[in-house]
Amino acid sequence: MLTHKLHLAPDVHDQDVLCVHTTLPAYLFVFHLNRILGISLSREKEDLMVQPSSRTFAVYAYESSLMQQSWRVVENQCKATQKSAANGLFDQLEQRTSLFPQLDQVDLLVCVNDLTDALFKKVQQITHVISCYRLPNNHVHIKKELTF
């Protein structure tokens, strides 16, 4: 009997997206993620830029053709200080901008294909991670925007 197999490349939209709220800066979170999982996430040369505000968001990526696994960590929060125009108590104001405003409590978005429960628990156990959960179903459209 003849059998045929169809091998398809994994669809980017099938990636799991983790929402991470942490007190760590992105580069330190990525350092811990690399150490715990034995991967080599590194910062991309170009950051994501939101046009109207010209704020940039760092992107860290790792792809392994051997393991058929790809990881991407994207900052969701950007902090910028600016001089206060009014005479007040503080001479500088900190302005916080979100890449996805509907996820204003999320600091980092971790995109990975074939996320297992064991990997999910390891990400949750990183020091200073306050919360870590899968992207809610009502925000699935964000997956399409994270493909680049």
Structure token digits, residue 134:
């899968």
- Strands of the sheet containing 16-22, edge to edge, are 42-43, 59-64, 69-75, 108-112, 16-22, 129-134
Number of domains, the chain: 1
Domain presence at residue 100: yes
Q: Which domain holds residue 114?
A: 25-78+94-145
Q: What angle do CA 140, 144, 148 make, to 5 degrees?
A: 145
Pairing state between β 55-57 and 77-83: unpaired
Residue 75, both tokens: 């900052």
Look up the pTM and report it. Answer: 0.80
pLDDT over 60 (residue 101): yes
Q: Report yes or no on 60 lying in a domain.
A: yes
- Angstrom distance (rounded) from CA 133 to CA 145: 19
**Is 14 a member of any domain?**
no
> Does a structural domain hold residue 6?
no
pLDDT tens profile 62-88:
998 777 788 999 999 887 766 766 666
The token duo for 64 is 């392994």
d(CA 142, CA 147): 9
Do the domain assignments include residue 12? no
pLDDT of residue 79: 77
Does residue 31 fall inside a structural domain? Answer: yes
Instruction: Confirm whether 124 is domain-assigned.
Output: yes
Q: Which of 9-13, 40-44, 76-80 has the lowest mean pLDDT?
A: 9-13
pLDDT digit string (tens) for 109-146?
Answer: 999 988 889 999 999 999 899 999 999 988 888 887 77
21-35 mean pLDDT: 95
pLDDT at 6: 37
